[in-house]
Structure 1
């Protein structure tokens, strides 16, 4: 069973619908036991960092996420909350990835919204059958700086972490559930890990 963490952040149903199209069953839950015993855990979200972290802490889900040994995938806000901190609301985050989330400088159109491709990509199981020229759908005003755990980057105003991995933790800044066949391939890759 795949557990999709419910934590007061939007866009969870569309992730569940895509997983269902790929032939997998999932539940949306904030129940610690269901999350701990799931085969895979997905931590998606659209929202604001400080209120999302507060929700996680109130329910002790921050400790649950950090204790997980099965594959865990953060999506969009999920990726940002897996970093050390976020400039959004001056928020202390989970600290899984050794980097911080910053606000895009207002030099161009912010948020970064629409289709964009990778600028660099490592050959790892999560990214199999994925190419530099593949377009993915982004909606974000904050970005994670690149670090040792960055396995793919994207460029918008500056280069940022598009996909990250540390041990059993994975994260994507774009929305795979809104990224057509490429996004479905990425979710399939994660579900087959």
Structure 2
């Protein structure tokens, strides 16, 4: 089924387009593929980026907080980089260009998602404490991207590279994977005082 990608806020897209039109921003980016790209560059495939917040109560669903939008930067037939924006008190601003294994992994995960029998709204879910990024497939395909929250029927596809013990590109039910992530993020138990 097709994915229903939520529209990016116009200021987020405009900030990435402004950075793409700035020779300084492109040439100073730490993305060799972007600096050497030939032809016009285009920002496409916007995905809202959320940060995973473990459930405050055992057995409850985790929360997600919108922190930005990520756009694929296409140079001809290939994706050369990602352009990222963040929300500030003054609105959406360009953050950075990036490249690396997550670019290919996101494309692969999106193809996997399109082959699923149901329609989902794609998001990126960042788990900073585990250095993990996942494609979050929200079951409410028409939800407002800024306020979307995890649902028991949502799916997660960990992107490569995934943390040890978590298989990348395996589709998980959110209710299966979220508790394991929360356990890994929990602070270690306090040890007793030395004797």
| Bigger radius of gyration | 2
TM over 0.5: no
Give the TM-score of the pair, scaled to structure 2. 0.24
